[in-house]
Amino acid sequence: MLLLVREQTPRPIVEAASLKTTSASADADARRLAAAVARGDEAAFRQLYDRYHRRLFCLALVLGRGNDSLAHDTVQAVFMTAAAKLRRAEGEEHLWNWLARVARQQLTKAFRRQQRDSAVVSLADLPECPDAVEADSLLEESLDAALLAMDAEERQIIEWFYFDRLSHKEIAKQLNATPKAVSSRLERARAKLRSLITRRLSHDA
């Protein structure tokens, strides 16, 4: 029995060391990526986009209360800003926080520019959270919960269109339907997603 105890004891230490190594590697990669983008490296910019565009879209979609057009515009604005102004990152968390902060700033500008009414939350209306990563996680959880509350077919068409970036024609082929039918289904699914996100955020607030 003593031998078993000795064999099991080091495992948490090894796992902790592995996690630390993974985190250090991610931080080093983020620093390299930010520096390369700052130099105008197009390959690095594409890598930055591929790595963060989905997460940024989820964040913008929730902050914009399901307004997918606003979310897309926000994501594009974030990467335009990154191409022009990103200079360095201390680590992976710092890089994500920088991108998320730009997204919030872009959304706030859009809300003011469009003179949205109180039905849409501006940055100033959002509850403050001392941990930005925790706040983003809560927003992502709100989106996940809204998607899970949808029917399987509605959820699938949303994921195909927004996250997998399939066209209406490509989705139609998947569903053995017409592009026009896909457009109608997508519009209904969009409306439901907006309603679920708004309801959940209002409840959490």
Asked whether residue 148 falls in the same domain as residue 67, the answer is no
Each residue's pLDDT tens digit, 84-99: 999 888 888 899 989 9
Each residue's pLDDT tens digit, 41-52: 999 999 999 999
115 sits in the region (left: phi over 0; alpha: psi -120 to 50; else beta) called left
- CATH number of the domain that 45 lies in? 1.10.1740
pLDDT band at 204 (very low <50, low <70, confident <90, very high): low
Asked whether residue 139 falls in the same domain as residue 111, the answer is no
Each residue's pLDDT tens digit, 35-81: 999 998 999 999 999 999 888 988 888 888 788 888 888 999 999 99
pLDDT band at 205 (very low <50, low <70, confident <90, very high): low
- Pair of tokens at residue 58: 């989820």
Asked whether residue 107 falls in the same domain as residue 140, the answer is no
Tell me, yes or no, whether 13 lies in a domain.
no
